[in-house]
Amino acid sequence: MVPYLEAERSSSDSSSRPPPRVAQVQFFLDKSSDFRDVRVNLATGTVADEARLTGKHSFLDSEQMDASESACLADPQVQEVIKKLELPEDAVVCVEPWTYGTDGMHDMAQLIVMCYLYMRLGDHGDANHYAYPLDICVEMADGVRVIGIFCLPSGEGDRMRPTSEGVKKFDRRKIHRSSEYHPDLGPERRTTTKPYRVVQPDGPSFKTERNLLMWEKWRMRVGFNYREGLTLHDITYDGRSVFYRLSLSEMFVPYGDSRAPYPRKAAFDLGSNGAGINANNLKLGCDCLGSIKYFDFYHHTTSGEALKFPNAICCHEIDDGILWKHTNYRTGNAVVTRSRILVLQTIITVGNYEYIFAFHFTQDAAINYEVRATGILSTSPIDIGDSVPYGTIVAPGVLAPYHQHLFCLRIDPAIDGHANSLMVEESVPMALDDPRTHNPFSIGYTTQQTIIDTETHLDTNPSANRVFKIINEAVTNSATGTPVGYKLVPHTSQMLLAHPSSIHAGRAEFAAHALWVTRYSDREVYAAGEHTMQSFGGDGLASWIAKRVDSSSSSSSSSSTTTATGDDTTDHNKPSTENASSSSSVRNKDIVLWHTFGTTHNPRAEDWPIMPAEKMLVSLKPVNFFERNPALDVAVSRQEDNCSVLV
């Protein structure tokens, strides 16, 4: 692929042909449990590879979710339990299916869907049913057959129990009218906000040719798939290669209520649900402003027919304030340029939550990845007067449990080529008593660099200003005399709170550490493994690294060790520099970085009934990649162009 891409960019070799296109197809044979994976050569129409996925389950799509809802509500046992609740006359029962987060209480050979019951009052379809979580949950085998109906716990000492032991009547003191967000039902909207319009009289500055996108000095290919959603490929700046592929690899949302069945609320929203198939149809003037280019996306139905997802990605420009400015105090003259950013954005809805994923490209050659979480809190029932230590009561009878959102950004660099290294740099104070160091005023500081030799994990360290630099040791910056590179500016976050011995930790290995570095491998794309639905773990980042270490140890007499297995006895404040075997070496190799970040969300009253967007930002910035400011040639800001007005 690399020779073809280089030829395609330069247009130097018209005879160059891309490698054969291969499609991955996963399916059930004759609606049985025989789950298979095939790789099809689209050029020849032949099967290149086939495997039976014994013990694995596919993701849940919207058709399966709808089938689970319908089957749950149609079940006579469920109907009888609902009747015993004695709900208000205008109540409409809603079912929310959840993928089953493995908790060790079931044989995972069969697909299990957890159905949580809610109600809404009245006939308005957008009434907030999360404001009325009911005390009932239903287990569904294969998503359509009821195998258990349970009463949910309320107070801290309560436990899940079968409905055969009795069902509590709905407490009508829980009825309230302050939990609606829809404009038809909620409070009157403020009228103080004047219209804000983005006008580009000459049109946008970007150009597109199918999935090829060019803007300023950036050039890239835009991709989209059912699982990862938005992906970016072959990213260059001013003709120089910087990244081969950027994508969100996985996200894990575990809930902190330890009472059954809530440990099952542990969603892999990409691996078990799919960012692509849950993408919104973005609306002009609402989700994106200005001159908009939309990219459509195609998936398929369960019968294999093409299914179009229109407006899955929006592309537009935004003003980002001042890019650079200086006023010469001697002359009084000021020079200022404004920052323009290219935005590629997609939005997904997974049940109650919305996630806004956006890549921001800047004129000074940086890439920012922004995640915003909004939507409605996933709620649980609680009796009036009860309290628990792992959630916030946001309305009468409504508990919003503590939870985490943990994302993994996959970064496949190509910094002036594919042979790259990872350097860890820290800022440290200069010694006071070292005769080799001149620090008479005790204020000096310097930097220390460590190049990582072997596949491993690392953590952030803000107190040392730890920076992760992706460098090309074969290319030297003529101004600084150092290797060219890009630095990862992480979003510093708390990592997974579940104990390392838990099933959560085994399933979401990536969530233990903020950064991982591995050798590139074609089949290593998803940080928690390819099949997360009801997984037990052992298929993710730490396991891949450990397997290569074990393989190297068994084939070599070397006694060297590695820190890559997720062992918590390692001092993660010290980067590993141990010697690497050839299979796990990451110095001057084709490497991949995986950055784990997120938010620990302990809900507040202000998050109800709909949550203001919570922002997270990761940056990739050039570091000694250029000889000077790459935005030096950006046009000076002029009133003639901006047409600002006095008020």
Q: How confident is the model at residue 18 (pLDDT cuts 50, 70, 90)?
A: confident
Of 269, 416, 453, 607, the active-site residue reads 269
Contacts of 95 (CB under 8 A, 6+ apart): 68, 69, 72, 73, 115, 116, 117, 118, 138
String of b and e for 156-172 (b: at least 16 CB within 10 Å)? eeeeeeebeeebeebee
Q: How confident is the model at residue 580 (pLDDT cuts 50, 70, 90)?
A: very low
Q: What would the pLDDT profile of 165-201 be if each residue is shown by its tens digit?
A: 999 999 999 999 899 999 999 889 999 999 999 999 9
Q: Answer yes or no: are the C-beta atoms of 197 and 203 closer than 8 Å.
A: no
Q: How confident is the model at residue 576 (pLDDT cuts 50, 70, 90)?
A: very low
Environment class of 358 (CB within 10 Å of its CB; exposed 0-12, middle 13-18, buried 19+)? buried
**Residue 582: its pLDDT value, please?**
67
Instruction: Say yes or no to pLDDT of 129 above 90.
Output: yes
Q: Is 181 labeled as catalytic in the residue annotation?
A: no
**Residue 520: its pLDDT value, please?**
97
Of 195-199, 332-336, 414-418, 582-586, the range with the lowest mean pLDDT is: 582-586
For residue 520, what are its two tokens? 């590139």
Instruction: Say yes or no to pLDDT of 46 above 50.
Output: yes
Report which of 200, 285, 194 is spatially closest to residue 642, judged by C-alpha positions: 200
According to CATH, where is 2.70.98.20 located in the chain? 208-376+403-552+583-601+610-642
Of 141-155, 393-407, 549-563, the range with the lowest mean pLDDT is: 549-563
Q: How confident is the model at residue 562 (pLDDT cuts 50, 70, 90)?
A: very low
**Residue 19: its pLDDT value, please?**
86
Q: How many CA atoms lie within 13 A of 281 on its CB side?
A: 4
Q: What would the pLDDT profile of 85-122 be if each residue is shown by its tens digit?
A: 999 999 999 999 999 887 777 777 888 999 999 999 99
According to CATH, where is 3.10.450.40 located in the chain? 62-174
Q: What is the pLDDT averaged over residues 19-37? A: 84
For residue 449, what are its two tokens? 């660099």
Angle at 261 between CA 260 and CA 265, to 5 degrees: 125
Rounded alpha-carbon distances, angstroms, from residue 101 to 59, 112, 348, 486: 13, 9, 20, 37
Q: What is the pLDDT averaged over residues 81-87? A: 98
Superfamily for domain range 208-376+403-552+583-601+610-642: Copper amine oxidase, catalytic domain (2.70.98.20)
**Residue 579: its pLDDT value, please?**
45
Instruction: Say yes or no to pLDDT of 569 above 50.
Output: no
Q: Is 353 labeled as catalytic in the residue annotation?
A: yes
Q: How confident is the model at residue 10 (pLDDT cuts 50, 70, 90)?
A: confident
Taking the C-alpha atoms of residue 548 and residue 519, their distance in angstroms, rounded to an integer, is 10
Q: Answer yes or no: are the C-beta atoms of 341 and 318 closer than 8 Å.
A: yes
Q: How many CA atoms lie within 13 A of 525 on its CB side?
A: 13
Q: How confident is the model at residue 529 (pLDDT cuts 50, 70, 90)?
A: very high
Instruction: Say yes or no to pLDDT of 380 above 70.
Output: yes
Q: What would the pLDDT profile of 581-605 be if each residue is shown by its tens digit?
A: 567 899 999 999 999 999 999 999 9
**Residue 532: its pLDDT value, please?**
95
Instruction: Say yes or no to pLDDT of 554 above 80.
Output: no
Report which of 525, 527, 528 is spatially closest to residue 503, judged by C-alpha positions: 528
Taking the C-alpha atoms of residue 26 and residue 242, their distance in angstroms, rounded to an integer, is 33
**Residue 581: its pLDDT value, please?**
56
Three-class HEC string of 277-310: CCECCCCECCCECCCCEEEEEEEECCCCCEEEEE
Q: How many CA atoms lie within 13 A of 181 on its CB side?
A: 16
Rounded alpha-carbon distances, angstroms, from residue 82 to 161, 164, 621: 16, 13, 56
Instruction: Say yes or no to pLDDT of 247 above 90.
Output: yes
Report which of 123, 75, 122 is spatially closest to residue 95, judged by C-alpha positions: 75
Quickly tell me which residue has 């233990």 as its tokens: 512
Q: Radius of gyration over alpha carbons of the chain, in Å?
A: 27
Q: Is the peptide bond before 609 cis (omega within 30 degrees of 0)?
A: yes
Q: What is the pLDDT averaged over residues 391-398? A: 98
Rounded alpha-carbon distances, angstroms, from residue 162 to 95, 109, 255, 398: 18, 23, 22, 22
Q: Which helix (H) or strand (E) holds 22?
A: strand 22-28
The torsion angles phi and psi of 76, rounded to 5 degrees, stand at: -60, -35
Taking the C-alpha atoms of residue 91 and residue 87, their distance in angstroms, rounded to an integer, is 6
3-state helix, strand, coil in the chain (%, to 5): 15, 40, 45
Of 353, 355, 369, 486, the active-site residue reads 353
Environment class of 8 (CB within 10 Å of its CB; exposed 0-12, middle 13-18, buried 19+)? middle
Contacts of 219 (CB under 8 A, 6+ apart): 9, 212, 213, 234, 235, 236, 237
- Say if strands 46-52 and 445-451 run parallel, antiparallel, or are unpaired: unpaired
> How remote is the C-alpha of 554 from its chain's centroid?
36
**Residue 446: its pLDDT value, please?**
97
**Over the chain, what is the mean pLDDT?**
92
Q: What is the pLDDT averaged over residues 505-531? A: 97
**Residue 577: its pLDDT value, please?**
43
Matching CATH number, 62-174, of 3.30.420.40, 3.90.1200.10, 3.90.1150.10, 3.10.450.40: 3.10.450.40
